[in-house]
Amino acid sequence: MVNATVMNIYFAPLQGYTDATFRRLHNELWGGITAYYTPFVRIEKGAFRRKDLADIAPVVNTGVPVVPQMLPRDADELCRLTELFMENGYDCADINMACPFPPVALHGRGAGLLPHPDVVVRILDATRRYAGFSFSVKMRLGWKDADDCMRLAPLLNDYPLHHVTLHPRIGKVQYKGTSSLEAFRAFGEVCRLPLIYNGDIVSIEGINRICELFPRLVGIMIGRGLLATPQLSAVYATGDTCLFTVPIVSRLQLFHEALCDRLQATSQGETQLMSRLHALWQYFLTDAPRRERKALMKTHDIASYRRAAAILFDTWREACSHVDG
């Protein structure tokens, strides 16, 4: 049964996690996502990164609703990135003013743009050169000062942005503490553009609460919550809470095995593969048995990793059957 009052759910971009392989598998096995945002594409040493070009290539994104995200430092970079996206067949892009990681922000990108409204205006002015191409912005409250967003809101209102996604934390704290709902509310009272909420959504109850608190939202963006519980979007879209019960462990195992297979096929050697797999589990399936998670993280080759993963899912399935029984 489809939820008739469903809010648009967007999958947040997460560097190192939500690449084309992950997006395609999630869309095939779970769905319930209005659009998947790509990890940011940026210019490094004057050129596009090869891994970014591979991730936005049409051949690996066919059939998946994708919005490419860019990480410009200035108007020139916005233009170069926009033209790259257009060459690849996209008609929209998201401008990242939210990335909180110091190597990005301290070089004037991501959340590092927020204290500099003059630079933001020049970047947004450049969007006017591309008629028929839609832009949106993802941002934080600020880099160090939560009032940065309040100073930017009147400026954002002057541009025909498709929407603004706000994660109500300052960049400096990264993901520490909790999102400020009051700060989001204050920003929403000043910003006239369509709004998407992002931050700390991990459950159906959390989605419903945000919808009730902010009825003018056009969507909710979820990142870490969907890594921890990949079926969350499907449960919300369909209302099928059976996706949270025991048989789901087998489906999650299928998802993991397919993801593992594709990562193995696209990795350059076992060292890179193991690094990618271990990194995945920082947020992935956080309800899985803790002892088995630790054992999996200690593996050093793909054969031992797959054995540890099989034990983890068997243990999880057994534990769930006892609870439900």
Q: Which of 208, 240, 272 is the last residue of a domain?
A: 240
Instruction: Among 29-38, 161-170, 274-283, name the one with the lowest average pLDDT.
Output: 274-283
Query: How many domains is the chain built from?
Result: 2
pLDDT band at 280 (very low <50, low <70, confident <90, very high): confident
Given 240, 255, 281, the domain boundary residue is 240
Shared domain for 39 and 103, answered yes or no, is yes
- Write down which residue in 192, 211, 240 finishes a domain: 240
Residue 319: what pLDDT?
84
- Specify the pLDDT at position 15: 87
Q: What is the mean pLDDT of residues 91-108?
A: 96
Segments of 38-185 assigned E as strands: 43-44, 47-48, 66-67, 69-70, 92-97, 134-142, 164-170
Q: State which H helix or E strand residue 75 sits in.
A: helix 75-87
Among residues 27, 149, 167, 36, the alpha carbon closest in space to that of 92 is found at 36
Give domain status of residue 64, yes or no: yes
The CA distance from 259 to 256, in Å, is: 5
What value does the mean pLDDT take over residues 12-28?
92
Q: What percent of the chain has pLDDT over 90?
A: 81
In a domain, 99, yes or no: yes
Burial letters 139-155, b for 16+ CB under 10 A, else e:
bbbbbeebebbbebbee
Q: Both 13 and 145 in a single domain?
A: yes
Q: Is 2 inside any structural domain?
A: no
> In a 10 Å sphere around its CB, with 0-12 CB exposed, 13-18 middle and 19+ buried, how is residue 64 labelled?
middle
Residue type present at position 183: A
Q: Quote the CA–CA distance of 150 and 147 in Å, as a whole number.
A: 5
- Beta strand 43-44 with 134-142 is unpaired
Residue 127 to residue 95: CA distance in whole angstroms: 10
pLDDT digits (tens, 9 = 90+) for 144-201: 999 999 999 999 999 999 999 999 999 999 999 899 999 999 999 999 999 999 999 9
Per the domain annotation, does 100 fall within a domain? yes
How many CB atoms within 10 Å of residue 220? Answer: 25
Range 245-282 burial, b when 16+ CB lie within 10 A, else e: ebebbeebbebbeebbebbeeebeeeeebbebbeebbe
